[in-house]
Amino acid sequence: MANDSNDANVNRRLLNMALRSRVRRLVLWTLMKSLYPLSNSEICHRTRLYPNEVDGAIRGRPGSYEPKYSLLRLHLIIEVTKARGEGRQKTYKFTCNDPILLKYIEDTLKGYRETGEV
């Protein structure tokens, strides 16, 4: 995700802004704990959030969930499309290949969990 120290600082700033949202934290934590990709409805079921909240956290929605802070745009999750019968289902999976960034995310979420905000 980050190629040099300036990119890392910018991405860390964006990540801090993104993780201020309780909904984004819940969705990210749920995907981090899951061993397999989850659909929007599965995320809703596990987090007890509304579908538009989950979709806003994943993709962003101007006005309520800034797209520049979306989990997809920050490259924290990927979209996986699976064939289901005659249609396709979009599922989402947590991906973070940078161990430093992963540790930072875990520490940040741990801080929110300790205060009961995740």
Local structure of 34: helix, strand or coil: coil
pTM: 0.86
> What pLDDT, on the 0 to 100 scale, is given for residue 98?
84
Q: What is the pLDDT of residues 22-37, one digit of tens each?
A: 999 999 999 999 999 9
Could you tell me the residue ranges of all domains in the chain?
5-113
> What pLDDT, on the 0 to 100 scale, is given for residue 82?
83
The average pLDDT across 62-81 equals 91
The CATH class, in words, for 5-113 is mainly alpha
Q: 33: left (phi > 0), else alpha (psi -120 to 50), else beta?
A: alpha
